[in-house]
Amino acid sequence: MVRGIRGAITIENNTETDISIATEELVRELIVKNNIDPNTVAQVLFTVTDDITAAFPAKVLRQFAGWSYVPVVCAGEISVPNSLPLCIRILMTVNTDVEQDQIAHVYLREATKLRPDLTLTNE
């Protein structure tokens, strides 16, 4: 069965270093909490708010062992007034037998504001 695993994290500054550190933290948490094997991942979609322009989060995922053949794309988030700034979001499409309510979605730093309901259940 195919499931989507969501997550998000914010950065302090629009720098390649901040983007890389935050993306690595987010991806590592998703992999560990969901026991993800890259061979079960169909695709990964990253979106970023329009104030993030210094680097591609997808580049960070390629540094994880075994992830070089997983299709990954970056896109821009819709620019909604008063939305959370400097935010990186991720959606992994994964083949798994895990039930929907057992998926561990990961929201870190200021991104916990996006889905407090999921943040509290997955800590």
Give percent above pLDDT 70 in the chain: 96
Q: Would residue 87 show up in a list of annotated catalytic residues for this protein?
A: no
> What CATH code is carried by the domain that includes residue 91?
3.30.1330.40
Residue tagged active-site, from 6, 24, 25, 29: 6
The pLDDT of residue 121 is 46
CA dist 82 and 55 (Å) reads 23
Number of compact structural domains in the chain: 1
Which residue(s) pair with 4 in the sheet? 93
Q: Would residue 123 show up in a list of annotated catalytic residues for this protein?
A: no
The pLDDT of residue 117 is 77
pLDDT band at 119 (very low <50, low <70, confident <90, very high): low
pLDDT band at 28 (very low <50, low <70, confident <90, very high): very high
Predicted confidence (pLDDT) at residue 70 exceeds the cutoff of 70? yes
Enclosing domain of residue 95: 2-121
Q: Would residue 115 show up in a list of annotated catalytic residues for this protein?
A: yes
Predicted confidence (pLDDT) at residue 122 exceeds the cutoff of 80? no
For 55, which DSSP code?
Answer: -
Residue tagged active-site, from 24, 25, 74, 110: 74
Q: Would residue 3 show up in a list of annotated catalytic residues for this protein?
A: no
Q: Would residue 109 show up in a list of annotated catalytic residues for this protein?
A: no
